[in-house]
């Protein structure tokens, strides 16, 4: 019987961490500045998870990261994935996020704090050729994981998503008058990588 093998899948981790009143209040009271792209605002503080008020949330996110990296991806525990930065995004009606990736990190994540209805979906875009190249533009009768160009994640409050930082992603436009709050963060591994003449040590 014919078989289709799904090789080299991209692992994306999702979990739910209930939003506490303290986290929501922190997001609402934080100081924001408009992004240079003028399509959203983010906190002036780019290390919000270091705030004592968010310590329980940080602990939960780090536990999820460890589960993703060590228990599911089976990365050696000799490496330590350290939090590089973290900030909260605030979107008003008409705001969105352009297609982008995150540099100077290996794993990125988003935590959904306040997600009103119609405030925007998270799209993960295909960054490599999973089927055919664009030498000729084919159309498909049915879109599936083999041929689609992006995957839509409909965010829910308390949702957490972790993914490889090189993946291009975007957020669709917010069509609500309510404020939308999400937290973004990045991780990078530290330790000794490779051996002999290829060894690299990051402390």
Q: Is 104 inside any structural domain?
A: yes
Q: Is 2 inside any structural domain?
A: no
How long a stretch of residues is the chain? 203
Interval 81-95: pLDDT, tens: 999 999 999 999 999
pTM of the model: 0.95
Q: Is 107 inside any structural domain?
A: yes
pLDDT surpasses 80 at 129: no
Q: Is 183 inside any structural domain?
A: yes
Q: Give the count of domains, the chain.
A: 1
CATH code of residue 176: 2.60.120.620
Q: Which of 86, 98, 45 is nearest to 62 (CA)?
A: 86
Phi, psi of 179 (to 5 degrees): -75, 145
Q: What kind and span of H or E run contains 64?
A: helix 55-66
Quick one: how many helices (H) and strands (E) in the chain?
Answer: 2, 12
Q: Is 136 inside any structural domain?
A: yes
Interval 47-56: pLDDT, tens: 999 999 999 9
For residue 53, the enclosing domain spans: 13-191
Q: Is 6 inside any structural domain?
A: no
pLDDT-wise least confident of 13-22, 63-72, 138-147? 138-147
Q: In this structure, what token pair is assigned to residue 194? A: 């490779």
Rounded Cα distance, 11 and 163, in Å: 7
């Amino acid at each position: 019987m014919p078989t289709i093998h799904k090789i080299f899948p991209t692992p994306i981790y999702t979990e739910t961490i209930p939003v506490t009143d303290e986290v929501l209040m922190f997001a609402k009271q934080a100081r924001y500045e408009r992004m240079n792209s003028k399509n959203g605002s983010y906190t002036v503080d780019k290390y919000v998870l270091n705030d004592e008020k968010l310590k329980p949330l940080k602990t939960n996110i780090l536990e999820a990261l460890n589960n993703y990296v060590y228990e599911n991806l089976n990365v050696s525990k000799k490496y330590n994935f350290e939090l590089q930065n973290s900030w909260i995004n605030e979107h008003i009606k008409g705001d969105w996020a352009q297609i982008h990736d995150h540099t100077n990190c290996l794993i990125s994540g988003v935590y959904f704090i306040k997600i009103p209805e119609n405030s925007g979906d998270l799209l993960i875009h295909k960054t490599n050729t999973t089927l055919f190249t664009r030498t000729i533009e084919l159309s498909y009768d049915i879109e599936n994981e083999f041929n689609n160009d992006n995957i839509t994640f409909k965010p829910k409050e308390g949702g957490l998503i972790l993914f490889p930082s090189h993946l291009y992603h975007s957020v669709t436009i917010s069509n609500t008058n309510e404020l939308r709050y999400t937290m973004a963060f990045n991780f990078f591994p530290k330790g000794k990588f490779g051996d002999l003449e290829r060894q690299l040590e990051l402390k």
